[in-house]
Chains A and B, each alone.
Chain A
Amino acid sequence: MATPAAENPKANRNTDVFLNGIWKENPVFVQMLGMCPVLAITNSVRNAIAMSLAVLFVLVCSNVLVSLVRKFVAKEVRIAVFILIIATFVTVTDYAVKAISVPIYKAMGPFIALIVVNCIILGRAEAFASKNSVFKSLLDALGMALGFSLALFCLGTVREALGSGTFLGFPLFGDHFQPWVIFVLPSGGFFTLGAWLLVFAWWRERADRKKAREAQSP
């Protein structure tokens, strides 16, 4: 009746669980999940931070709750249960953002509601929280959310700096800077994401090569 609560053997140490999401399995740069908000919401750093916080809240709450009920949830209806739980926290976030700041709510447009179908969240519920303890699920959620925030922040910084010449609204380059409008438009999101993926892939490859060399010559 309940899904088998087998521990994931690869991720048994708590620090590993936490760090996995930030670096080794970064949801955006490695797993390529949740691309819709990544491309749409990163035209300014402020929007990127707001989106990160919204995803952090939803991911932590849903992972913890999914983990809490994992022994009772029949596997035939588990996806329905996960979606219900996720949708609930997204709705709560929607109200909360509107109550905190209407301008931020407007800037995020439909993308708060679309967190429901963000693959990162359902993915973590299915792949991790439904098989691991509450504490580990919490760490996993925090790690993944921070990894997601890191990616949004990377994109948001570049796009706001080049597209509007500002950082968090503060001018960076003086009055003579002509903003590259394309960077705040959707196509600029793709360019920036591509550039960051290139940087991260190069970085990882370099680290792998270094590791391989160390393994060869002890």
Chain B
Amino acid sequence: MSAVGTAQDVPAPAKPTSSLYMVALLGIVSTFCGLVIVLAYQVTTPAIKSNLAQITRDAVFEILPETGEMAAYGIQPSGDLVKLEGIETDLPRFFVGYDKAGKVAGVVFEAAGRGYADVIRVLYAYAPKREAIVGFKVLDSKETPGLGDQIGKNKAFLANFQALDVTLNADKSALVHGIEAVKNGTKSEPWQIDALSGATVSSKAVGALLNHSTQEMIPLAVRHLAQLEERN
């Protein structure tokens, strides 16, 4: 690699480049680059949006296998629900899965909380008839590979979410027992999560984020169950 600007490279004393030329050059290159980026953005945006929507949709069908079709609802600041056209919204949202007969099979919520490495984002499915969480999927986590990331893979851990009890109290305003993660092998109640051995922090984080989310979302969904059943 010959160094640029050494004595041999410049045979005659080079004329200094005019400032105007440099400004114009950078201006032209920047404009061209800007156009390319905007073009790429325009071309790829529809595909990116549909990809993201498809991933969410697939995840909903995955954790609620009996779902035939789904709808998305946004939660307005007043606490009322509004049915969404697609699934995109700026409001907090959740999804409702309907079974073949058109009844509510389950409600799927998004939840997030601080994990060991970074924020853990999950989806979980609530089945109103069974008053339990019946499905769980980690959407996004940066937990330690091989240890903490097992919260999304380990079969024994995921078995916690086949029937995790979230029964509501008599006036349907709160859970009777909050969800909690307990040390590996000590689960004794249906609302407890048996933690992964070697990944206690990640397991506890899942317990805490689910507890936080269910305390708020499940009473809300149950309050509006009639509206969800009528699909409006």
* Interface positions of A (Cβ within 8 A of B): 1, 3-4, 6, 8, 43, 69, 72-77, 80-81, 84-85, 87-88, 91-92, 95-96, 98-103, 106, 126-127, 130, 163, 179, 181, 184-185
B40 within 8 A of partner (CB): yes
Question: In the bound complex, do residue A127 and residue B25 qualify as a contact, i.e. CB atoms below 8 Å apart?
Answer: no
- Supposing A1-B17, A95-B40, A185-B145 touch, asked if A102 and B55 sit within 8 A by C-beta, the answer is yes
Q: Which residues of A contact B9 (CB under 8 A)?
A: 4, 6
- Please pick, from A69, A84, A95, A184, the residue contacting B146 in the complex, using a CB distance under 8 A: A184
In the assembly, what is the distance between CA of A81 and CA of B144, in Å? 40
Q: Which of B31-61 contact A (CB under 8 A)?
A: 33, 36-37, 40-41, 43-45, 47-48, 51-52, 55
Q: Which of B60-116 contact A (CB under 8 A)?
A: none
- Supposing A1-B15, A85-B29 touch, asked if A91 and B40 sit within 8 A by C-beta, the answer is yes
Question: In the bound complex, do residue B145 and residue A74 qualify as a contact, i.e. CB atoms below 8 Å apart?
Answer: no
Q: Which residues of A contact B40 (CB under 8 A)?
A: 91-92, 95-96
B5 within 8 A of partner (CB): yes
In the assembly, what is the distance between CA of A127 and CA of B3, in Å? 9
Closest to A180 in B: B146
Q: Which residues of A contact B37 (CB under 8 A)?
A: 88, 91-92
Closest to A102 in B: B51
Nearest Cβ distance between residue B15 and chain A, in whole angstroms?
Answer: 7
B216 within 8 A of partner (CB): no
Question: In the bound complex, do residue A99 and residue B51 qualify as a contact, i.e. CB atoms below 8 Å apart?
Answer: yes
- Supposing A3-B4, A4-B9, A91-B37 touch, asked if A98 and B147 sit within 8 A by C-beta, the answer is no
In the assembly, what is the distance between CA of A69 and CA of B30, in Å? 13
Sample (29) of A-B pairs whose CB atoms are under 8 Å apart: A1-B17, A3-B4, A6-B9, A74-B22, A75-B4, A75-B5, A75-B17, A76-B22, A77-B26, A81-B25, A81-B29, A84-B26, A84-B29, A84-B33, A87-B33, A88-B33, A91-B37, A92-B37, A95-B48, A96-B40, A100-B47, A101-B51, A102-B51, A102-B52, A106-B140, A127-B1, A184-B145, A184-B146, A185-B144
**Chain B interface residue bracket vs A:** 20 to 34
Q: Which residues of A contact B41 (CB under 8 A)?
A: 95
Nearest Cβ distance between residue B161 and chain A, in whole angstroms?
Answer: 22
- Supposing A92-B40, A101-B51 touch, asked if A74 and B17 sit within 8 A by C-beta, the answer is yes
Closest to B52 in A: A102
In the assembly, what is the distance between CA of A156 and CA of B48, in Å? 27
Question: In the bound complex, do residue A85 and residue B44 qualify as a contact, i.e. CB atoms below 8 Å apart?
Answer: no
Q: Which residues of B contact A81 (CB under 8 A)?
A: 25-26, 29
Q: Which residues of A contact B44 (CB under 8 A)?
A: 95-96, 98-99
Known: A95-B40, A95-B44, A99-B51. 7 other contacts (CB 8 A): A43-B145, A74-B17, A81-B26, A84-B30, A96-B44, A106-B140, A126-B4
Q: Which residues of B contact A179 (CB under 8 A)?
A: 146
Q: Which residues of A contact B55 (CB under 8 A)?
A: 102-103
In the assembly, what is the distance between CA of A91 and CA of B9, in Å? 34
